[in-house]
C-alpha cells in the first residue's frame, strides 16, 4: 500500500508502506521520481528522470509541507 500524502499539479507525494524507518517522502510524476529525507532536514535521497529545476522545485514543496508530511507519516506508521 502506498498512501498519498497530497498532490500538487502533476506530482504525487506518497509513502511506501513497510519500506524503511527513516522519515521520507516519495514524489512521482510522468517525468520521473524522487525521494526526500525529511529529518533532520529535507535532503534529496534519490532521483530519476527529473531535471535539476524540477528537483529544486520539489525540494521547496517538501520543505513547505514538511510538517504535514511528518504528521501523515506518524498517522500511517506510528499510530
What is the per-residue pLDDT across 2-58, written as a single tens digit (0 to 9) for each? Answer: 889 999 999 999 998 777 788 999 999 999 999 999 999 999 999 999 999 999 999
Can you say whether residue 61 is alpha, beta or left, with left for phi > 0 and alpha for psi between -120 and 50 degrees?
alpha
pLDDT at 1: 63
pLDDT at 16: 82
Q: pTM for this structure?
A: 0.92
Question: In the numeric block, which cell numbers belong to residue 54?
Answer: 524540477
pLDDT at 76: 86
The cell 529525507 sits on which residue?
Answer: 37
Of the candidates 46, 53, 66, 78, the one whose C-alpha atom is nearest the C-alpha of residue 5 is 66
Amino acid at each position: 500500500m502506498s498512501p498519498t500524502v497530497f498532490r500538487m499539479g502533476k506530482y504525487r507525494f506518497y509513502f511506501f508502506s513497510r519500506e524503511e524507518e527513516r522519515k521520507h517522502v516519495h514524489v512521482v510524476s510522468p517525468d520521473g521520481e524522487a525521494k526526500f529525507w525529511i529529518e533532520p532536514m529535507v535532503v534529496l535521497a534519490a532521483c530519476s528522470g527529473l531535471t535539476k529545476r524540477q528537483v529544486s522545485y520539489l525540494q521547496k514543496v517538501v520543505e513547505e509541507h514538511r510538517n504535514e508530511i511528518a504528521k501523515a507519516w506518524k498517522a500511517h506508521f506510528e499510530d
